[in-house]
């Protein structure tokens, strides 16, 4: 393994990355600004990102010229599989709310941890706790609605959004 500092322009996001990270970029930006770039971006020999799309996006937004990179000797399919597996592994990890609370209470700047005040209230006042309720690993729950046409899909989306489901994506092929 070798860590190289390379021009950020040489690193390429993987166009079919199945992990979406738009909502994580701000936290990672804060992390880089406060604590530095501690975890290199892993790329395949074609320089496509395998691990670290969020770090890359955050570095771009921060205007960093160079990023630390590890070039992994993986062929295309293995890089694609590892890209999924690295994210999947994270899904199995969960908080121990009791220990998390102990840690957070010791910190002078609790919001530095990435938790919002509301979420911290939930942890610090366990009667309100929502986090850590289930011991299962994190799951995503989707409903996929079959629609007759593009117009139908638009109409269904409006109705479903009206019910409070804000995360909808259209898909057609």
Q: Residues 42 to 61: which contact other proteins by CB under 8 A?
A: 42, 50-51, 54
How crowded is residue 43: how many other Cβ atoms within 10 Å of its Cβ? 25
Q: Which of 47, 93, 104, 95 is nearest to 72 (CA)?
A: 47
Span 107-166, contacts to other proteins by CB under 8 A: 107-109, 112-115, 137-150, 152-153, 156-157, 159-160, 163, 165
Q: 90, 105, 117, 121: which one contacts other proteins (CB under 8 A)? A: 90
- For other proteins, the closer CB: 118 or 143: 143
- Return the structure tokens found at 79: 């890089």
Nearer to other proteins, 60 or 78 (CB): 78
Max distance between CA atoms of the chain, in angstroms, equals 56
**10, 45, 94, 105: residue in contact with other proteins (rule CB under 8 A):** 94
SS3 119: helix
CB of 107 to other proteins, least distance (A): 6
State how far the alpha carbon of 117 is from the alpha carbons of 97, 123, 125, 161, in Å: 15, 10, 12, 27
Say how many residues touch other proteins, by CB under 8 A. 96
48 forms beta bridges with 12
Q: Which of 47, 60, 128, 170 binds other proteins (CB under 8 A)?
A: 170
Name the residue nearer to other proteins (CB basis): 18 or 127.
18
Q: Which of residues 59-88 bind other proteins (CB under 8 A)?
A: 68, 70, 72-74, 77-78, 80-88
Segment 16 to 45, residues that bind other proteins, using CB under 8 A: 16-21, 23-24, 27-28, 30-40, 42
Strand order in the sheet with 4-7: 4-7, 66-71, 41-43, 49-51
Alpha carbon 153 to chain centroid, angstroms: 28
Q: Measured from the CB of residue 127, what is the shortest distance to other proteins in angstroms?
A: 20
3-state secondary structure at position 25: helix
């Amino acid at each position: 393994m070798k860590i190289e500092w390379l021009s950020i322009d040489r690193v390429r996001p993987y166009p079919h990355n199945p992990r979406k990270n738009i909502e994580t970029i701000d936290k990672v930006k804060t992390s880089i600004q406060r604590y530095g770039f501690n975890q290199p971006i892993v790329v395949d020999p074609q320089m496509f990102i395998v691990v670290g799309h969020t770090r890359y996006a955050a570095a771009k937004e921060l205007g960093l010229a160079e990023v630390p990179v590890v070039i992994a000797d993986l062929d295309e399919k293995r890089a694609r599989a590892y890209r999924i597996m690295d994210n999947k592994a994270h899904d199995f990890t969960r908080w121990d709310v009791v220990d998390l609370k102990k840690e957070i209470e010791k910190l002078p700047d609790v919001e530095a941890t990435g938790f919002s005040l509301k979420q911290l209230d939930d942890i610090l006042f366990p009667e309100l706790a929502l986090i850590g309720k289930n011991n299962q690993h994190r799951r995503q729950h989707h409903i996929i609605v079959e629609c007759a046409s593009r117009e139908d899909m638009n109409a269904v989306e409006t109705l479903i959004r009206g019910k409070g489901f804000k995360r909808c994506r259209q898909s057609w092929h």
